[in-house]
Amino acid sequence: MTDNANYESEGRIVLVRHGETEWSRTGRHTGLTDIPLTDTGAYKAELAGTLLAGRHFDLVLTSPLERATETARLAGFPNAQHDARLVEWDYGAYEGLTTPEIVANLGHRWTVWDDGAPAGETPGESVAQVTARAESLLATIGPRALAGEQVLLFSHSHFLRALAGVWIGLTAAGGRYFVLGTSAVSELGYEHGTQVIEQWNHVRGR
């Protein structure tokens, strides 16, 4: 990690993915289904907090879903403000399914980054919709980070990956390039005014 002395000179947006759940452990798409952390997920959420200890944050936001708010609490931020823009990608009819199950049902290749969630009777979000949600969030917090503030976000795998893609000038589909483990801590920042990835997928005890 960058020396703590450097954190005060430029703003950062720090991202924390929630801890393990039963669905994340088994690779099931978990969008808006509100399920709790496993015991392992709770323990590793506490470990994520050790990576944040001693740092000052001007703004702390969390997805309102339980797995994110509980991760925030266990990491030492029980008063994180809810922001609905931080919820996970809405997978619609693909909720609860694994990628192999979705591909088997469709009969052809599928990824959320290329195809988004399905339309139809149980529609989910498209890549364009998630891009717009990420842009809306960054329009709120980006200027604060540019002004030197430290912003901390607790959210979900696909949305945080999408957010990173949008941060560096791609669409939400750019999230395909950023693998992100449970309880991982990542950082978005600046280099000479350019929006960059400062750190990615740091997990305590790995």
What H or E segment, with its residue span, contains residue 37? none
Euclidean distance between CA atoms 78 and 193, whole angstroms: 32
Specify the DSSP element, H or E, that contains 206.
Answer: none
Residues pairing with 12 in the sheet: 150
Residue 156 among the catalytic residues: no
Rounded to 5°, the CA angle 5-155-9 comes to: 15
Query: Packing angle between helix 39-52 and helix 66-74, nearest 10 degrees?
Result: 50
* Largest separation between any pair of C-alpha atoms in the chain: 53
Q: Is 198 in a helix, a strand, or coil?
A: strand
pLDDT recorded at residue 204 = 85
What are the residue ranges spanned by the domains of the chain?
Answer: 10-89+126-202
Active site residue 202: no
- What pLDDT sits at residue 206? 52
Check residue 109 and give its pLDDT.
95
Indicate the SS3 state at residue 5. Answer: helix
Per-block mean pLDDT, blocks of 10 residues, the chain (206 long): 47 98 97 97 98 97 98 98 98 97 95 93 95 98 96 98 98 98 97 94 83
Contact, 158 vs 148, CB < 8 A? no
Report the C-alpha gap between 158 and 178 in whole angstroms. 9
130-172 per-position pLDDT tens digit? 999 999 999 999 999 999 999 999 999 999 999 999 999 999 9
Which member of 10, 20, 88, 198 is catalytic? 88
> May I ask the CATH class of domain 10-89+126-202?
alpha beta
